[in-house]
Chains A and B, each alone.
Chain A
Amino acid sequence: MRTTFIQELCLQARLHPEIFLVVGDLGYSVVEPFADEFPDRFLNAGIAEQNMTGVAAGLAAEGYHVFTYSIANFPTFRCLEQIRNDIAYHRLPVTVVSVGAGLAYGSLGYSHHAVQDIGILRQIPEMSILSPADPGEARACTQWLAAHPCPSYLRIGKAGEARLHETGELRAGPLELVSGAGDCAIVATGSVLKSALDALPALAEKGIMPAVYSLPMLQPLCAADLTPLARYRTVFSLEEHLLAGGLASLLRENLPEGVRLRAMALPDSVLGVVGGQKALWARAGLDAPSVARCIEQSV
């Protein structure tokens, strides 16, 4: 996803002379195409995220659309107040990009597990929050951001994510990938969407055919955006994020009345556990067999 993001950012920077990329000394072998093509609109701010974010706000106040780029929690938690006060309150066009959503850097340990970021950033209502599930969605999100410069957060995976579906232009609300048959649906955000799709054959064997939606645009989101979900009796949320404040919370606040929500999110017990992303998904109950089991037991 990160390579797709940079490729698309280069394309957009040719169209939008105001696009500026600031990295926090991360992105080796990823960001060079941008740096080489747009040296006047590129900066390595060093290992100093508070200053990086303040500088980005200053550049944005002068008309640039700035993308700050780092990994995991570094461009968000370390400089959260700069995001809140400098960027969001002033409504400046800065997009904070974090690579390594969820447990993508699982083996690197707790510092690199970005599993609370959605909940934290949702508390800043000026921020648009985009959470693509695959490279196609990452491309669509980048296009949307270039067309809508605003305080925003782009939460992307790392590398090698499977392409899960054909993505058109990004729009608000859930994107229907599988129409299903019955009265339940899965709504996923981020690359864990793959577990939902991979769970479908096992569920079909049991006669359960849920619809599957991806929700890359988490904020802004209003109740009207979720009216397509009114037809289901049960909606299963699926996210690589702690339960508090994430996708499940978002749906619980906005789902049409009468729709039952069953949340599949990271349990607190996964905090601090180290391992590959797939192993951690299994441990946390977010791999395809776990998803199938959860749905089978609930329907």
Chain B
Amino acid sequence: MLMTGTHAFARDIRREAVKMVALANASHVGGALSMADMLAVLYCGVLRVDPAAPEWPQRDRFILSKGHCCSSLYAALALRGFFPMEELEDYGKDGSRLMTHISHKVPGVEFSTGSLGHGLPFACGRALAAKRRGFDWRTFVMLGDGEMGEGSNWEALLFGAQHKLDNLVALIDCNGMQGMGEVDGILSLEPLPAKLRAFGWDVRQIDGHDHGQILAALTEPAVPGVPRCVLARTVKGKGVSYMENQLAWHYRSPNAELLAQALAELEPEGELRS
């Protein structure tokens, strides 16, 4: 069942993220946009969370390991009501709690990252705690594909399978690009699905912009005793034509003219269709 409104929510996330990055003259908008559809589906009904009680003990845990792409997560949280929308304007400003790598000091954020390779081990610990205590909440963690170069992730992949963490879902935002170029040309991960299966994970390959596929991958019952990895093929900068698949938008911040163009493309009539 596809929830209504996820496409509009994804569009709103993108609009807010682009505005935040432009206003703050910040970086990493490309990776924020590539995962926006997954965030929309997660925060539009998959995640069991309560914006009025961000620390509700029975909530699902969502951890952003690619913490540099936090603008879209802050946007999703504000849109869901975890904190006031106006605060998004403080993104990256002096003294703001909305720092440009994800911060646990923001309501709804479980864990601060920024150095890569930290989210999945932490998520394993939380999932293990739920197992040991018999809780039914789930743990989700979003990684980037470039980030899979970190050895700590492969340690955690071993661990997740060893401890049968079927309450854990790792999403890998495979936009194919990292800091200095294409992942395939730097430390190729392929064949990534086969590697992850060999590590003992239930691997689902999806189009990371197809909300139906995202929903199915996140909600189909777990294979008992097997953690799930959702390999989402995405486009870096998705939704803004001049950013799509352009490495420069790992770093650049749109000026007023480019921001206006981006926002025009993200108007409701230009709504993304999967």
Known contacts: A82-B118, A90-B111. The answer to whether A48 contacts B125 by CB under 8 A is no
In the complex, chain B residues whose CB is within 8 Å of the CB of A58: 121-129
Cβ-based interface call for A248 (8 A): no
B152-A51 in contact (CB<8A): yes
Interface residues on A, range: 20 to 34
A45 and B155 CA atoms in complex are apart in Å by 10
Cβ-based interface call for B249 (8 A): no
Cβ-based interface call for B10 (8 A): no
In the complex, chain B residues whose CB is within 8 Å of the CB of A81: 115, 118
Using an 8 Å CB-CB cutoff, how does the interface string of B58-74 with A read, 1 for contact, 0 for none?
00000000000000000
A242 and B7 CA atoms in complex are apart in Å by 59
A125–chain B nearest beta-carbon distance, Å: 17
Cβ-based interface call for A50 (8 A): yes
Using an 8 Å CB-CB cutoff, how does the interface string of A70-114 with B read, 1 for contact, 0 for none?
000000000001100110011000000000000000000000000
CB nearest to A47 among chain B residues: B155
The 8 Å CB contact of B118, one of A40, A43, A85, is A85
Cβ-based interface call for B273 (8 A): no
A81 and B155 CA atoms in complex are apart in Å by 15
B259–chain A nearest beta-carbon distance, Å: 32
In the complex, chain B residues whose CB is within 8 Å of the CB of A63: 129
Cβ-based interface call for A236 (8 A): no
Cβ-based interface call for B195 (8 A): no
CB nearest to A44 among chain B residues: B162
A13–chain B nearest beta-carbon distance, Å: 14
A40 and B128 CA atoms in complex are apart in Å by 11
In the complex, chain A residues whose CB is within 8 Å of the CB of B156: 51, 54-55
A56 and B126 CA atoms in complex are apart in Å by 9
In the complex, which of the residues A46, A50, A56 has the most CB atoms of chain B within 10 Å of its own CB atom?
Answer: A50
In the complex, chain B residues whose CB is within 8 Å of the CB of A89: 112
A55-B128 in contact (CB<8A): yes
B65–chain A nearest beta-carbon distance, Å: 10
Known contacts: A61-B111, A85-B112. The answer to whether A54 contacts B130 by CB under 8 A is no
B152-A86 in contact (CB<8A): no
In the complex, which of the residues B104, B151, B156 has the most CB atoms of chain A within 10 Å of its own CB atom?
Answer: B156
A58 and B158 CA atoms in complex are apart in Å by 16
B111-A51 in contact (CB<8A): no
Cβ-based interface call for B114 (8 A): yes
A76–chain B nearest beta-carbon distance, Å: 16
B129-A64 in contact (CB<8A): yes
A64 and B124 CA atoms in complex are apart in Å by 14
**Beta-carbon contacts under 8 Å, B72-125 to A:** 104, 110-115, 117-118, 120-125
Cβ-based interface call for A212 (8 A): no
Cβ-based interface call for B159 (8 A): yes
CB nearest to B123 among chain A residues: A58
A61-B126 in contact (CB<8A): yes
CB nearest to B126 among chain A residues: A58
B158-A48 in contact (CB<8A): yes
The 8 Å CB contact of A57, one of B114, B122, B130, B159, is B122
A46 and B157 CA atoms in complex are apart in Å by 13
CB nearest to A43 among chain B residues: B128
In the complex, chain A residues whose CB is within 8 Å of the CB of B128: 43, 55, 58-59
Using an 8 Å CB-CB cutoff, how does the interface string of B124-151 with A read, 1 for contact, 0 for none?
1111111011000000000000000001
B91–chain A nearest beta-carbon distance, Å: 20
A61 and B61 CA atoms in complex are apart in Å by 11
A55-B125 in contact (CB<8A): yes
Q: List 10 A-B pairs, minimum CB-CB distance, nearest first.
A: A58-B125, A54-B121, A51-B155, A62-B129, A48-B155, A55-B125, A50-B152, A58-B126, A51-B121, A58-B122
